[in-house]
Amino acid sequence: RENVLKNLDDKAFDKPICEALLNQKYFNGIGNYLRAEILYRLKIPPFEKARTVLEALKQQEQ
C-alpha cells in the first residue's frame, strides 16, 4: 500500500484502475477474478482513472 501511494506519479497510474490492478510491480498476485471482485465490492467503476481512485484513498487516510 505504501509503495503504491509513494509512486502515484508513475505512468502506470494514468491507466484505468482495471488495468492498473494487473500491474504486478504494484499489485502482486491480483488476477482477473480478484480484480473484478475488488472493483465490484468497492463499487468502483472499472474504467475510472487509477490515480483518481488512489488519490481519494490517500486523502481518506489523512
**What's the CATH code of the domain at 12?**
1.10.8.50
- Distance from C-alpha of 21 to C-alpha of 17, rounded to nearest angstrom: 6
Structural domain for 10, as ranges: 2-61
Average pLDDT over residues 19-35: 94
* Greater model confidence, 2 or 35: 35
Q: Into how many domains does the chain fold?
A: 1
Residue 54 CB neighbours (<10 A): 19
Q: Across the strands, what pairs with 49?
A: 16
What type of residue is 58? K
pLDDT at 1: 78
| Residue whose grid cell is 509513494 | 6
Whether residue 57 is predicted with pLDDT greater than 90 in this model: the reply is no
Q: Are 60 and 24 in contact, with CB atoms under 8 Å apart?
A: no
Identify the weakest region by mean pLDDT among 2-6, 20-24, 26-30: 2-6
Whether residue 20 is predicted with pLDDT greater than 80 in this model: the reply is yes
pLDDT at 60: 84
